[in-house]
Structure formats: structure tokens, C-alpha cells
Structure 1
Amino acid sequence: MTSKPKVAPVPDHDSHPARELPEVHRWLSSVRKITKTVATGRPLPEVLDLIAHTAALLMGYEFCGVLIPDPTRRALVIEGSSGLSAHYIAQVNADRPVRLDQAESVEAPSSAAFRTGAPVAIADIEATPQFAPWGGVAREQGYRSMISVPLMESKGVAIGTLNCYRRSVHHFADEEIALLTVLADHAAIALTTARLRSDETKRMDELVLLNEELHQQRDLLQKSEDIHRRLTEIALRGGGVPGITTALSILISRAILIEDNHGTVLGRSSRTEPFPDDRARAETTSDEASVAGEFRCHSVLLAESEVARIWISRGQSPLTSIEDRAVEHAALVTSLELLRSRTADEVRWRLHGDLLSDLLGGEPSAMDTVVERAGRLGHNLTIGHSMVVVALTGIEGELVDSCLQQAIGRINGWAETMTPQPLSAVHRDRIVVLIPDIGQSRDTLADTAEKIRVLAGSTVPKAVATSITVGRSAGLGDYALAHRSAVGALSLLALTGRSGAAVSLDDLGLVGLLLQLDDTEQLVQYADRVLGPVRRHDNTRGTDLIGTLRAYLACGLISSDTARVLHIHPNTVGQRLRRIQTLTGMDLTRPDHTMEIAVALTVGDVGDSSRTG
């Protein structure tokens, strides 16, 4: 049995103040140190360690610990200590926690003190079966007796325990327990104050952080508004997409390329930055963020549809939040600019379409105003023009209108770079372009017609564009006839399988000359007199003698070549030719009869195409 610690007795008239004062001063000094530590705002773990150290120092204990509930309030854990090893603390907290939810018969001394609010002392832990779960760690740490004193709030609620340990068996006397209780009360006040201060500090830190975040949000909003204002001003000043491209490049210090949904470049801030080529950009889907990890692609949406893309070059570091906001604002302003431009284009194209419709219709009442209206649109109809008419084939029916609009958009974009500007519009499911006569050579005009055909055919991969060029029209009345001739030529080319080319009416020789006749009725009558019986035979019998005749003439009157082209036996070709001779009363071995049949076939095609146009 160890001797009792020296404690300061309660003073009375018979006591000796000289012996009592040093002990009182020692206690007051220790309590004052705890109070000062709390007052200076030291961290809570430091306060708890000081409480444990003070208890050990004042009462002469080898080990002390301060236990408080964990966040779940299901166990007490050691948060402050004096003399206890880190290994012991870790073992108790992790493997042998002091549970608060166990039955009273098996609960630990600390949980009993916490639950009841009264001290619990064990003089010999080896003689106490209920301490068995902690016996191993107790022997490792080296203590034999312990006491757990609750830390009580003013409202009588326990907030933790002060545990004190001795190496030997020790009976805790009442006066010793009373002193520990006084110390525990001071410790509870210190713990409560430290917690309040800690909570207040946390709240202050949270307020400071919140204030900083609010300031950052305010700065972000101000910068965002400034970016939006700058980009909007550029659009309002008429800078268009090129101006937006340049402004965004300056704002985020990266090269920018903006293209529409057809792949046409609308703005480019740098001519040296190696952006992906047309094919690589076209193969990049809208939800892909980069190409080869070097370029970002940001969609520009209008009515939930992608109308353009913003390509952003690589940088030394990722985009900041404000730079991302700048890209978003640029996308918004770009979509509005494209909407404005699209609306203006639609109005202009409609006016062009109405003008061409009146010009090609040839109505006298409309012809009185076409020259003036064309002048207001920037076109001079007092000079001669060549006409290029383009037909698109191979397109599904529901896509025809959109493909024509895309094609005329490309052609108009090209026309705006020309001086003087050609007049172009969609007319009756075909594209008509009037090219001002400024002394172009025949080859130059052919190159222009091919350029127009390629622009129109690039809208859809499977589309086939065929163009026909009609030479110079001097008077307003010539345009209607020129258009009919061009439409007839396009129909004839489609009929004879010659689609997908740029052809001049002059290239068609006799056919081209016949197409320019104002009245084709005589041609139709002539063709019907010569080949009418053959056509009627095909219609009633379901044969294709006309097709055989066309192939025979194209193969130079050689039956074996005709059979190979038609994938039939030469004898079958002979039988069909004899049937044609019987129906027409003509001999295909005679050159004059053969020529008359060939002319009738051509004239019939011209007549049919003219009526179709």
C-alpha cells in the first residue's frame, strides 16, 4: 500500500497557515495556468494535455488522461494525457474504446463515472473482473489502480472524465477524491470555455472564409460582366464573329478559331497556330473536349442545336474559372451574332429569290421594277449576265430544302467576295446564279461554273451537283428563255446519265441549239411522227425499245457492244432492232434513215426536257 499524497486540509482556527499557504499557492498557480491557457485561445488538445499534466503534478499520479465522447457519442476516447504512451492511447482508442452503450454490469469505470456523474475508483484492477478487457494494456502501461472523475457542466451534464492512475495498489481516500473533484470542476470549466472559444474560432474562420468567397464571387461576377460587356460591344459595333474571335483570344491568351456547323471558318485569331485541319475538325464530335489532347472544342448552341464551334489552342496551364466563363460568354455572343446574321441573310436571300422569280417568270408587270429592285440589292441588270443553273440529285426528299439552303449559303458566301457580285437564289428547287459580264473568257466562265457546282455539291456527301451555263443575256426578256434552256439541258443530262458535271449549253452542239428555241412544239411533233409507234409499243407492251435504240446509237451501231452494255445476248439486240425497223418503216442500215431516227430521238429528249422545265 502506497502512502497517501500530501493534500492541503481545509483551514480552521487550529491550523498552521505557514504550512498551508505554499500548497494553496501551488494549486492556485496550476488552476491559473489552465485558465490563462484557455484565455489565450490555445488549441483544445493542448488544454486537455495541460489538465492531465496538472492533475498528475498536484496529486502525484504517474499517469493521467482526459476522456471525452467521440463524434458518435458511443464511446469515450483519450484526447489529453500525461505520462501515457502514444501506443497505449492508440490501443485504447482503436481496439479497447470505453463504450457508453454497454450494460451497467459490464461497463468500464470511465463510462460509469460519465453516466452517473460520480467518481469511480478501483484500488486494484487485477482484483476487479469488470476491468478485464483493459487488463492487458494496463499491464503494458504499468498501472495497478485508477480513478475516474466526471467533468460536469453547470447544468449537471457530464462532458468527459479525468482518469488518474498509480503503478501500485492504492485506496483513494475521500479527501483525495474531493480534491480531484475540485480539480475536475475547474477542468470542466476550462474544457467548456475552450470548446466555446474553439467553436467561436471555427465560426469566425467560417465567416472569414465565407466573406472571402463572397468577395471572390463578387470579383468573378464583375469580371464576368466586364467580359460580357466587351464581347457584346464588339458585336454591336459590327465586329462580327472575327471581332469576337480576336477579343476572346486576348482575354484568355490563347489562339482561337470559330467555325460554323458546316465547317466554314468564321474567325481565326492566329494564322500560325496549327489548328486541326478541316477533316480532323469534322470528325470530332461535339461532346469531345479535345483533339490529340491539344485543342479544346466548345459548342455554340442556338435553340439547343449546335450552330458553331469554338476551337481553343493549348496553353501552359488549364483555363481558370474566369477564362472558362469568358469562353461561355463568347459562345453566347457568337450564337446571337449568328442569329442576327442568319436573319439578315434570310431576308436578303428572300429578296433575291423574289427578284429572280419575277425576272425568270417574264411577267410584264414585274419587269418594270426588277432593275430598280436589283439596284437596291447591289446588282446592275442593265449589263449583260451569264446564267449558271445547278441541280442537286441523290438527296432524300425531306433533306432537299435544307441542302438547297446550305448550298445557297455557301454560294452567297463566295459571291460576296466577288466584284461585281453575282446574283444568286433558289428558284424552283434549283440554284440560279447570274454572273455579271465583265469580259470573262470562255474558260474563265467555265471555271466559275465548276466552282459554283462544287460549292453546291459539298453540302451533302452523296449529293450530285450538275450545272449548266447559258451564255450572255443582254435584255431582260432573255433571262426567261435562258432559264428554260438551262433547265431543259439539266433534264436532258440527267436523262442521258451525264450528271455531276459543269456543262455549257454551247458544249451540247445541236442539242444546245435546239434547247434555245422558244417554241418546241414543232420538235415534239416531229419526234412523235418518227418514233411515236416505238414509244407506244414500249408503253403498251412493257418493252424498252427506245432504250435499246439509244444504246445502239451510243455504241456506234455495233450490235455486240450494245449487247454488252445492256447485258443481253446479241441475238436479242438484233430482234429488237428489227422490231424498231418494222414499227418505223425505216432501215437502220441506211445512213439517211439512221440519221433521221437519231435526230428524232434527240429532238424528243429536248422536247420532253423543255416541257419538264
Structure 2
Amino acid sequence: MDETTTAGPAPATTVGPAPVGPAPAGTAPVGPAPAGTAVAAESGGWLELLADDCSPGDIQRLRAALLAGADDATRRRVESEAQLAETIRARLADRGRDARELRVRDDLVRRLASLRDSAGLLQEVVAQSRFLLGVDVAYIMLPTADGGRLRIDIVDGSLGDTLQGVVLRDGEGLGGEVMRSGRPLWSESYLDDGRLRRVRSVDSIAVSEHLGGILGVPLRFGRSTLGVLLAADRRPRRFSDHEVELLAGLAAHAAVALRNAQLFEENQRAVADLRQSNEALKRTDELRRRAGELREQLTAEVLRGGGIPEVGRAVARAVGLPVQVLGADGARLDAGPGTDDIDVVAVTGSAPERWLSGQEPASRTAIGRDHLAVVPIRMRDGCAGCLVAVSDVRIGDETVRLLEIGAMTAALVVATERSVAEAELRTRGAFVTALLAGDGDDAELRRRAVAADIDIDAIGVVVVLDNAGQDERAVAAAATRIAAELHGWVAQHADRFVVLARQHDVASVRARIAALGDGDLPAAGGIAPAAGGVAAVRTAHEAARQTAAVLLALKLPGAVATAAEVGPYRSLFSHAGRDDIAAFVEAALGPVLAYDRARGRDLATTLEAFLGQSQHHARTCEQLCIHPNTLYQRLERIGELLGTGWREPGRTLQLQLALHLRGLAQTLAPDVGRRGNTP
């Protein structure tokens, strides 16, 4: 460096004392002396020169002017005065620099105290760090949420965005070491410093940013280190103690301001949480008010004798949304206004039974653009249905709570209706039992019919639902729906449900029952016509019962048929019919059956499987799980017993019919007299 650069005044962004002492030997002032220097030389004083804020060159020029032609004593005095003037000038320069730095720091402290946003505060800190230290780049590293790493969050002076988001662990790089130790640290040339634990990815970023000298100081608040403030040049640089202290002082102010900003933000969040809590309390109070009003309305409806439709309409008014009530089978239980346009299957993509069966959570759920709330009607013995509400906006917890209140009232209504229905069912069941068992004369039975609210002369069709005692609740529900559809009465008799209908068209009744069950009832249904009166109802009931029993025997548990449709099989229920069938079976299969009885074999089953598989050997072996040789031996024995020609079409048809009737007779034989019946 030349003399002007070494001894000239420090720039605004350069920190550090200027060199002190006489000019090097052999140097001479450059250019003509300014007028002020001449005046000072003539007066022989240095104060005028220092008062004019002179430069080191001005002092050297005055010194040269005073030494020209001076004797030894004068030269010693001038040299001493010149050195003293240099010292005073340097100290004045230091004071000026300190004053400038103090003004900048005071201004920064005032601005930091006014900032409440952490990001804005940190951005101001890095900008002032660049200004005060005269560096190319300044940045701040803050701990990540997990507390185990540091991330560069705020950068000023970067060539690009490569520094933003860089992550270091404690002890890695210069910033990680400062964070670990809690003490300032600087490196004259970061990429060549072997003291630091290097990270390859960070080194590549330092190369792209051309980073040289780096100074890092901790952001300390009390005993806590909140982060690291770093200042870097794009050339090697040694940082003086004054620069370290300057950046550390700035970091101390920044740490206090940062902590204050964090506390302010925490306070703001606390205020927001408190405001939300107050709003939640207001909503809770409003919900309690609305819930109380809804309970009063529902109580009034129930006391007036209202049912499920009235409950649905009251809940719809309370929530301000269309509401519908579905049964456990997904069918509508209400007919409230404004609910016909809700297609739950179209909205959800599945039937409500998914919620009722537990396949979906029975709570609020959003589907597509619509929001659907499904709240179950819970009973002690299971789910009796659900309340459904649909909205174009998200359904809130308050609405769900009101729906739950409605569901509890609906459960009470359903329980009451069940109790009434069960009482009526018991009363009618006692009457039907007496009617069908022949207890009492006609006059007594008619009086009991009037007490059970049954018009015995109006009965035109008798329906019997039989599922062999399985799933009684489902069969009872189906019988109730059939009775309501046919405007008749329902009762339970001998583990079966009997519907006494006012209709007289058997074909129409059959079609309507099939439609109600969607082609599959929970029980076999037998239908028989009745002409009205005690005897006719008994006869029709027996025919319908036998029809249902035949359907079960034919393995058609969900089918419905009239007595005429199973006429040929009904002969199995009479003694004469069973005797005729037994004779037919004996004539066709007698030798085989006798062989089985005598030897404990089951050739009849083998014969039935062989004919059922169209005399296909491999399929028969697979069905019976036997070896082909075993099948051939059994078929040879059957041929010996039945004689030649037993495989001819006419003979096989006779054998299959005999086997089929034999199986039905064995199935239906226990039904004669079963569950209290008589042939």
C-alpha cells in the first residue's frame, strides 16, 4: 500500500485505528501544500491544522516546511511536535469513529425496540452489521424446531439464494462451533481453516459465494444462546478485537430485541388463544341455549303424541338444514318437508348401512363438495337408524350436537313405539294363537278379535313368514312393514310371524311383498287366500304355513310363493300324501334303501350325487371326495340292485324324482307337529 492509503482517513465503513508515528524515511509530501498548511507554518502552530481536520499528509507537509533550514534544536522540537500532532489526530479520528458507531448503534437500538416482527428485526440486524463492519455478506443462523441443528434464516448481501436455508449441526462449520461454545470466533480464510469441522455441502456453497474471512458471534440472552450472527468478506480478512466487540455488542442488542419480539409474539398468540377461548365460550353458551330450546320443542312434540316425522322436522328447524331420518335398513322413517331432495347414496357413494353397521364412523364426514352429517339413533340393543343432514358448507360441531339431541329423542320415540307394538303384538299373538289352535267357539273368538282390534271378517289373505327361528328382529320388522302396506294386522304364532291382510287379490299381495323385500325377504313367505271368518282364516293359515315350510325345504329362505305355486309338494303334509310318496320312493329305490339299512351303507347318496352331476364320474368323485375305483364299485353295486337299464333317461328321471321327494319328506317330516302345529 502507498503512503496515502495507509495514513489517509478511515472510510465510513472501515473500522480500526489508523497507523500512528512519523512518516517513513525518505518520503516527501505529494503536491503543493494547502493554504492552511502555509498559514500554520508561518504561525509555527499545530492547533490550527488539527482544528481544520487535517490528514496525515497535511501534518507531514507542515513538518517538512518547519524543518527546512532549521537548526538541530528546532528540528528536535518540530519532530516532537509533529509526533504529538499525529497522536492527537489519530485519537481525534478514533473519537470520531466511535461517535459515528455510537450514533449508528443508538439509531439501531431505537429501531430494534420499535420492531415487533422477528423476521423484520433480524433483517435489520444483518443490514446494519454489513454497514458497521464494512463486510460483503451478513447472515443469521437460528436453531431449528427440534433444537439439534442450525439453519440460515436471514441473509443480506448474498450473490443468490444458496445460503438461505443451509442447515448445520452443533459444532459443524464456524456457525455451529460458535453455537456450541457460546463464544465469538473468526477465521481469516474459511475454506483454508483446518480448525473447523467441515461439511462438504456447506463448503461448496461457500465457494459459490466466494467467502473468505468470516466472523461469528453468539446471540446471547442471559445464559441462553438464541442464534449466531455472522459477517463475511469475499476476500481473506483478519478481524480486530474492536470489530469483534462491535459485532458482539450489536448481537447483544439484537438478542434482547429478538427475545422481546418473541415474547411479544407469544403474548399475541396468548391473546389470540384467549380471544378464541372467549369465542368458544360464547359458542358454547349459544349452543346450550339452542340445545335447551330444541329439547323443549322435542319434549312438547313427544307429549303431543308426535312421532319420528315430527322429531325430524323440529331438528331441521333447529339446525337450519334439511334433515331426514333413516331406519336401520336405510329406509326413510320420516316424511318431513324439504328432505325429498337428499339422496344419501348419491352423496356418499354408499348406502347409510355402512355407518349403521360400523363400517364407517357415525359422525361428521365431508364427501366431495357437499358436507354430510350422519348421527346414529342408538338403542340398548343396537343402532335403530340415523339422522342425516346435508349442507353445501362445512357442518360444524354445534350442528352435530343438535343432531345428537334429536337422535336421543328419536331413540325415545322408537323405544316407545316398540313397546306399544310389542304390547299389541302380544295381545294379537294371544288371539291368533287361540284362533289357529281352535280354542274357544266362534263367538268367543270374535269378541277377542274385537278386543285385539282385528276385523276377522275383513281378512282376505294370510301371510306366514318363517325363517326357522333365525334373526327374529329382522323378520318382525319385515312383517310389520307388510302389515302396514296391506292395511292389516301382524302377530307372532309358534315362532312364525302371521300377517292378516284385508286384501283379497293373492297375486297383488305377492307382488307387493316381493317389492317390499326387493326380491329377498329375511324369511320364506307363504301366501294363501281366506274368505273371511274363523274357519277360513285357519285353513288359509295352514296353507300359508305349509307353503313357507316347503320353500325352506327347497332351500329358498328368502322367496315368497302362493299355496297354489307349491301345490304338488303340499301333499307331503297329509298322511295320505306321505303314504303315496313313500310307496313311490320304495318302488323306485327300494333295493338300494334296503341294502343301505341292512349294511349301514349310503348308496342312495352316491346315486343322488351321480345323477345330479349328469352321470359325470370325475365331478361325482370330487363332490363325494372318493377315489374313482370306489365310485365304480358303488355304481356296479347299484346296477346289481336296480337292474339293467337304470341309466336310461326315463329311469334316471324316475330315480331323481324319488330321491328329491325322499329328501323333502325327510326335511318336512319334523315340520308336522313342529312348533305346536298339527297335521
Q: Is the pair's TM-score, using the shorter chain for normalization, greater than 0.5?
A: yes
Correspondence 1:397 to 2:468: yes
CA–CA distance in structure 1, aligned partners of residues 431 and 178 of structure 2: 100
- 1:409 equivalent in structure 2: 480
- 1:337 equivalent in structure 2: 413
Deviation of 1:25 after TM superposition, in Å, equals: 5.0
Structure 2, unmatched stretches of 5+, are 19-86, 361-365, 552-559, 565-573, 589-648, 655-676
Residues 404 and 426, structure 1, Cα contact 8 Å, conserved in 2: no
Once the two structures are superposed, the pairs formed by residues 252-401 of structure 1 within 5 Å of their partners are 255-261=322-328, 265-270=332-337, 273=340, 284=351, 286-287=353-354, 298=374, 300-303=377-380, 305-308=382-385, 316-317=392-393, 319-358=395-434, 371=447, 378=453, 385-388=457-460, 390=462, 392=464, 395-399=466-470
- From the superposition, tell whether residues 236 and 89 of structure 1 become closer, same or farther in structure 2 (CA, over 3 Å): farther
- 2:638 equivalent in structure 1: none
Residues 216 and 231, structure 2, Cα contact 8 Å, conserved in 1: yes
CA–CA distance in structure 2, aligned partners of residues 138 and 218 of structure 1: 60
Q: Figure out how many residues of one structure are paired with residues of the other and give that number.
A: 483
Return the match for 1:148 from 203, 213, 216.
Answer: 216
Once the two structures are superposed, the pairs formed by residues 185-584 of structure 1 within 5 Å of their partners are 185-216=252-283, 219-220=286-287, 223=290, 226-227=293-294, 230-251=297-318, 255-261=322-328, 265-270=332-337, 273=340, 284=351, 286-287=353-354, 298=374, 300-303=377-380, 305-308=382-385, 316-317=392-393, 319-358=395-434, 371=447, 378=453, 385-388=457-460, 390=462, 392=464, 395-399=466-470, 405-406=476-477, 408-414=479-485, 425-428=491-494, 429=496, 431=498, 433=500, 446-447=504-505, 461=521, 463-471=524-532, 473=533, 479=534, 481-486=535-540, 500-501=561-562, 542-543=586-587
Return the match for 1:122 from 175, 187, 203.
Answer: 187
- 1:577 equivalent in structure 2: none
- 2:557 equivalent in structure 1: none
SS in structure 2 at match of 1:87:
coil
- 2:116 equivalent in structure 1: 42
CA–CA distance in structure 1, aligned partners of residues 509 and 212 of structure 2: 103
Return the match for 1:101 from 164, 171, 178.
Answer: 171
CA–CA distance in structure 2, aligned partners of residues 69 and 496 of structure 1: 81
- From the superposition, tell whether residues 369 and 34 of structure 1 become closer, same or farther in structure 2 (CA, over 3 Å): farther
Return the match for 2:153 from 52, 75, 79.
Answer: 79
CA–CA distance in structure 2, aligned partners of residues 249 and 185 of structure 1: 63
Deviation of 1:28 after TM superposition, in Å, equals: 4.0
Residues 151 and 187, structure 1, Cα contact 8 Å, conserved in 2: yes
How much is the aligned-residue C-alpha RMSD, in angstroms?
A: 5.3
Partner amino acid for 1:162? L
CA–CA distance in structure 2, aligned partners of residues 82 and 494 of structure 1: 90
SS in structure 2 at match of 1:172:
coil
Which stretch shifts more, 239-248 or 319-328?
319-328
CA–CA distance in structure 2, aligned partners of residues 434 and 138 of structure 1: 93
Q: Deviations over 1:80-125 (max 9, x none)?
A: 44433443523xx43xx554235xxxx53x4444444443333445
Deviation of 1:339 after TM superposition, in Å, equals: 1.8
CA–CA distance in structure 1, aligned partners of residues 467 and 179 of structure 2: 84
Calculate the TM-score normalised by the size of structure 2.
Answer: 0.56
Deviation of 1:344 after TM superposition, in Å, equals: 0.6
Residues 467 and 524, structure 2, Cα contact 8 Å, conserved in 1: no
Structure 1, unmatched stretches of 5+, are 436-444, 474-478, 504-523, 545-566, 573-610
CA–CA distance in structure 2, aligned partners of residues 30 and 36 of structure 1: 10
- 1:160 equivalent in structure 2: 227
Q: Deviations over 1:41-75 (max 9, x none)?
A: 42122222222333333343343333333334444
- From the superposition, tell whether residues 122 and 350 of structure 1 become closer, same or farther in structure 2 (CA, over 3 Å): closer
CA–CA distance in structure 2, aligned partners of residues 227 and 82 of structure 1: 62
CA–CA distance in structure 1, aligned partners of residues 530 and 341 of structure 2: 39
- 2:140 equivalent in structure 1: 66
Deviation of 1:351 after TM superposition, in Å, equals: 1.7
Partner amino acid for 2:140? V
- From the superposition, tell whether residues 203 and 355 of structure 1 become closer, same or farther in structure 2 (CA, over 3 Å): same
SS in structure 1 at match of 2:334:
strand
Residues 297 and 309, structure 1, Cα contact 8 Å, conserved in 2: no
- 2:659 equivalent in structure 1: none
Q: Deviations over 1:198-229 (max 9, x none)?
A: 34334444444454455445545654555555
Residues 389 and 468, structure 1, Cα contact 8 Å, conserved in 2: yes
Return the match for 2:251 from 184, 197, 201.
Answer: 184
- From the superposition, tell whether residues 262 and 127 of structure 1 become closer, same or farther in structure 2 (CA, over 3 Å): closer
Partner amino acid for 1:392? V
Greater RCO between the two (CA within 8 Å, min separation 6)? 1
Q: Deviations over 1:222-262 (max 9, x none)?
A: 54555555445433432211112333444556555545446
CA–CA distance in structure 1, aligned partners of residues 261 and 529 of structure 2: 93
Residues 69 and 77, structure 1, Cα contact 8 Å, conserved in 2: yes
SS in structure 1 at match of 2:353:
coil
- From the superposition, tell whether residues 255 and 450 of structure 1 become closer, same or farther in structure 2 (CA, over 3 Å): farther
Residues 139 and 231, structure 2, Cα contact 8 Å, conserved in 1: yes
Partner amino acid for 2:304? R
Partner amino acid for 2:257? A
Q: Deviations over 1:428-485 (max 9, x none)?
A: 54737486xxxxxxxxx633x66666666756547242223134x5xxxxx4x55555
Residues 130 and 138, structure 2, Cα contact 8 Å, conserved in 1: yes
CA–CA distance in structure 2, aligned partners of residues 295 and 78 of structure 1: 43
CA–CA distance in structure 2, aligned partners of residues 59 and 99 of structure 1: 27
Partner amino acid for 2:464? L
Residues 15 and 243, structure 2, Cα contact 8 Å, conserved in 1: no
Which structure: larger Rg? 2
- From the superposition, tell whether residues 35 and 121 of structure 1 become closer, same or farther in structure 2 (CA, over 3 Å): same
SS in structure 1 at match of 2:311:
helix
Residues 62 and 166, structure 1, Cα contact 8 Å, conserved in 2: yes
- From the superposition, tell whether residues 78 and 542 of structure 1 become closer, same or farther in structure 2 (CA, over 3 Å): closer
